[in-house]
Structures are given as C-alpha cells and as structure tokens.
Amino acid sequence: MIKRFLLAIDHWNDDCLWIIANALEIFEADEVCGIISLIASSYTDFNKYSDRRLKLLAQIILNFLDLCLKNKTPLWKVDKVFSYMNKLPNRSIIFYEKAQVAEIQIKELCK
C-alpha cells in the first residue's frame, strides 16, 4: 500500500521522502530498487535543497544499503547509490550518513 501511494504521487515533498526513509525496512531490496533509482535520477539539484531534504536523501541511501546488506544483495548491483551518495554535497548535516556509506563501501571492497 505504501509503495503504491508513493508511486502514485507526481512530486515527492519532504514528507514523502521521510516516509520512504523510514519505511524501507518493511520491504525487500528488490521491491524498492525502482524507487531508489527514481530518487537518484530525480533529486540532483543539490544546491537548491534544504539541509532537511539532503538529510532525508542521505538517510534513504543509507537505509537502502542497510536493507541490501540484510538481504545479502550483491552491492555491485547498487553501485549507483554509492555514486549518488558521493555526489551529495559535503555538509555537516549528512556527515554521519556519508561516513556510514563510505564504511559499507570499504568493507565490501575488502571482502
């Protein structure tokens, strides 16, 4: 129901992004790959975004990667999200998320 609601909306505001960030854990990684790809291709004008929106985008990426790890999804399948996180500006508001994603990426490269 949540996924259908989110896909039916023409424009996701911060409230919709909050729902996505906090509802990912109830899905399988394969179920939300489309939503994550849509976010990565739609939300790219980072200089115009508030700190809250950047925080939500970073949380979505981190939560999605956590979901992928729990489901043992090969992370090479989600290289796009690593690239997206690297494109997010280096602001203190998303330091934690960027550090966590970098740690995940390093751990996966060392396997």
Give residue 105's pLDDT band: very low, low, confident or very high (50, 70, 90).
confident
Helix axis angle, 29-42 relative to 79-87, nearest 10°?
Answer: 30
Residue-level pLDDT at 43: 92
pLDDT tens column, 4-17: 766 677 678 898 89
pTM, 2 dp: 0.89
pLDDT tens column, 53-100: 999 999 999 999 999 988 888 877 788 899 999 999 999 999 999 999
Residue-level pLDDT at 96: 96
Q: Which two tokens stand for residue 36?
A: 């994550």
Number of structural domains in the chain: 1
Asked if the model's pLDDT at residue 2 lies above 80, the reply is: no
Q: Is 63 helix (H, G, I), strand (E, B) or coil?
A: helix
CA proximity to 97, closest of 45, 61, 67, 52:
61
State the residue range of the domain holding 100.
2-109
pLDDT tens column, 33-59: 888 888 899 899 999 999 999 999 999
